[in-house]
A and B are shown apart, each in its own frame.
Chain A
Amino acid sequence: DGGITQSPKYLFRKEGQNVTLSCEQNLNHDAMYWYRQDPGQGLRLIYYSQIVNDFQKGDIAEGYSVSREKKESFPLTVTSAQKNPTAFYLCASGVTGLADNEQFFGPGTRLTVL
């Protein structure tokens, strides 16, 4: 089955630690995205990548880093510089070149900083 997987589903981190969230897709999509969702707020874009070895900052990139070494994978690292990292993190992918910009989401990772 084609889809997007994220791991882990739940993650607990101590303050001051970096943590990496995994996102893998087998939909053959060129574009991949990371969002965070906080209660009562819409999804906010952290980083996006349109093609392998290329990525751009989204609206709230501070304290995060990404890499795109393979088409299928777009891991997100939450660094200790991120002031409020507790959130629901969603990875998505989409087919570039289409006008309609549909995105398909993974099941998400809930990060809690203790």
Chain B
Amino acid sequence: RKEVEQDPGPFNVPEGATVAFNCTYSNSASQSFFWYRQDCRKEPKLLMSVYSSGNEDGRFTAQLNRASQYISLLIRDSKLSDSATYLCVVPSGGYQKVTFGTGTKLQVIP
């Protein structure tokens, strides 16, 4: 299994829909996970941290499933402005080192 894997998409969803992405990881010792958002030709920006108990921020919910080694990102009531690529990030061992997934592209359609 690759260190971090994501479905590249694209996920094309209508406005107002709920959409979920998964990200699988192979390092069972990983403790902290993140979701970043990257707009076209821009830098990644931190969207959410993912801890053991999960995390919710408005329309966004991140969950961790340690048994199956994946994290998920749920977006409710999708907005046009949610269109972006979503990168999952997993600590890869070593001090402050992480591995980025290749990203899942989301396109919200009017």
Contact = CB atoms under 8 A, between A and B. Distances in A.
Given A50-B96, A106-B43, A108-B43, A101 B102 contact: no
Given A99-B32, A100-B32, A45 B97 contact: yes
A41 B38 CA distance: 13
A23 to B, nearest CB: 12
Interface string A79-102: 000000000101000101001111
Contacts of B97: 45, 48, 58, 101
Given A42-B87, A42-B103, A103 B43 contact: no
Contacts of A107: 42-43
B46 A101 contact: no
B32 A42 contact: no
Contacts of A106: 43
B100 A43 contact: yes
A104 interface: yes
B46 A102 contact: yes
Contacts of B91: 101
Interface residues of A, number: 24
A90 B49 contact: no
Contacts of A41: 102
A99 B32 CA distance: 7
Contact of B4 (A42, A48, A103, A105): A42
Nearest to A56: B94
Interface of A: 31, 35, 40-43, 45, 48, 50, 58, 88, 90, 94, 96, 99-108
Interface of B: 4, 8, 31-32, 34, 41-46, 49, 87, 91, 95-103
13 contacts: A42-B4, A42-B101, A42-B102, A48-B97, A50-B95, A58-B97, A94-B96, A96-B96, A99-B31, A100-B34, A101-B32, A105-B43, A108-B43
